[in-house]
Chain A
C-alpha cells in the first residue's frame, strides 16, 4: 500500500502534466497581390510576369506549450505575429504547416467589441455571444447575471448597443469575455479598458481567475502588465520567438 502511494507521488512529480494547449513548428504566411487583381480588366492589363506579390511570414516555426494554470504573455512590436499566433491557437486561422493540439476548452477574446450587434441590446448580445461559445443552457442565466453585475452599465442593459459610449462597450466586452471563462483564455489586448476604478476590478478579476487555476495566453504591448500576471513572457519579432523569460514578480 505504502509503495503504491510512493509510486503515485513519484508519477505526479516526474511525469509532466499534459499541456492545456501546444503548438509545434507552426508557420503562417499571408500573401496578397501588390496590385489588387480582383477585376478581370486588371488581370488583362498586367501580364503574369509583371505581377508582384506581397507576402509576409507572420509566424515562422513557432513552438509553444501552455501548462495547466500557466499564464503566458506574448510581447513584441506591431506586426510581429502575436495576434496571428493567438488566432492559430484559437482555431480561427489554419496554419500553413505545423500542428496545434488543444486539450481543453478555450475562450477567445480578440478585441473589445467581440462581435456585438449594434441593434441588439446588451442582454441579447451577451446571450448570443455565450451561445456561440457553446455554453450549456443551464449556465446561461448565471453567466448573464455575472456579466451584468461586473459590467455595471446600469439601465443601459436593455438599450441597443448603438446607445452605448465606447467605454461602456469595452466594459461589456471585458465582462463577457471573462465572466464564464473556459480552462484556457486567449486574450488579445484586453486591459485597455475603462477608467482606473474599472481597470482595478479587471486586474482583481484576472488575478482571481489565475488563482482558480485557469490558464491563459495573453497579448499586450505593455510589458509591465504582462510582468504583473504572467509566468512566462514570450517576445516575438518578425514571426519568430526571440526570447522567453520568467518575470520575477509574477502574481501567483
Chain B
C-alpha cells in the first residue's frame, strides 16, 4: 500500500474508528446498545430453561457458567463475521484510500472487545447479585481477553482474506458456526486434565475405535475456544476448585494463538493487494 503509517498513527486510527463504529452500530435504533445484549440474553434464557434440569447438578453456578460461555461465543462469532462484512461496509474507503487494510480487522477487533467488556461488566454484576466472591485469579482475565482477540481476529482475517473472491465463505461460515456452537462447551460440562500437554498425549487413546463421537470428543477437548472458555471460567467462577492456570499452560496457549494470528495476518496482507479489483 502507498503511504507509510507510523505505529502511533495506526493505533490512533484503530482507537478512533473502533469507538466510532461502536456508536454508529446502534445509531438510529430505539433500543441502541441493548440490541447487543438482547441476542445473547435470549439465547441464555432459552438454553438455561432447557438444560438446567440436566446439568445443574454437575455444574455449580450453572447460570453464570452458561452466561460466560454465551458471551465468549457471541464475541467470537460476531467478530469473525464482522471481519468479513466490514470489507463490504467500508468498500468506499477500501476502493479510494490506500491505507493498510489490516487496520480494518483491528478496528473490528477493538469494537467487539469494547462490546465484550460491557458484557463482562454485566457478568460481574450478575455474579455479585448471586453472591459469588471474587478471587485474585481475575488478574489472568486480561491475558485471556488477549487470547480471545487473537483467536477471533486470526480466524476472521483468514475468512476475510478470501471472502471477496469466494462469496461462498460467508454462507459456509454461517453453517460452521451453527455446528461449532454445539462442539464448544457452552451449555455442557467440560474438564481439562491439567496440564494440557499431558492431556494431548492421550489423543491416540481417545481416537481408538475411530468412531465419529471419538473425533468429536477430541475436537471439543482441544479446540482453542474450549480452552479459552475453560480458562476464563476457572479464574472467574472456580478459582478454588480448579486452581489458576499454570505459566506453561498460558505461555503455550499464547504461543499457539500468536502463530495462528501471525499466519493469518500474513495471508491477509498478501491477499489484500487484490481487494479493489475483487469487489
Q: Could you list which residues of chain A lie within 8 angstroms of chain B, going by C-beta atoms? A: 30, 38, 87, 90-94, 102, 105-106, 108-111, 113-117, 119-120, 124, 127-129, 131-134, 136-137
Contact = CB atoms under 8 A, between A and B. Distances in A.
B216 to A, nearest CB: 28
A94 B230 CA distance: 44
Nearest to A127: B16
Interface in B79-98: 90, 92-93, 95-98
A131 B17 contact: yes
Interface stretch (B1-9, B46-54, B127-135, B172-180): B1-9
A105 B4 CA distance: 8
B16 A115 contact: no
11 contacts: A38-B167, A91-B3, A102-B2, A105-B3, A108-B98, A109-B96, A115-B97, A117-B24, A119-B27, A124-B20, A134-B3
Contact of A106 (B2, B16, B273, B276): B2
Contacts of B1: 91
A124 B19 CA distance: 12
B277 interface: yes
Interface residues of B, number: 27
A115 B274 contact: no
> Which of the listed residues B2, B24, B99 has the most CB atoms from chain A within 10 Å of its own CB?
B2
> Which of the listed residues B13, B24, B90, B277 has the most CB atoms from chain A within 10 Å of its own CB?
B277
Interface string B97-123: 111000000000000000000000000
A87 B20 CA distance: 28
A119 B274 contact: no
B28 A119 contact: yes
Contacts of B20: 120, 124, 128
B12 A131 contact: yes
Contact of A128 (B17, B273, B274): B17
Given A91-B3, A115-B92, A134-B4, 12 more contacts: A30-B277, A91-B1, A106-B3, A108-B2, A108-B98, A110-B96, A114-B96, A116-B92, A117-B24, A128-B20, A132-B17, A134-B3
Contact of B98 (A38, A90, A111, A137): A90
Interface string B149-175: 000000000000000000100000000
| Pairs of residues from A and B, 10 with the lowest C-beta to C-beta distance, nearest first | A91-B2, A115-B92, A91-B98, A115-B93, A94-B273, A110-B96, A134-B5, A132-B99, A92-B276, A115-B96
B233 to A, nearest CB: 38
A73 B93 CA distance: 24
Contact of A93 (B3, B5, B24, B277): B277
B105 to A, nearest CB: 14
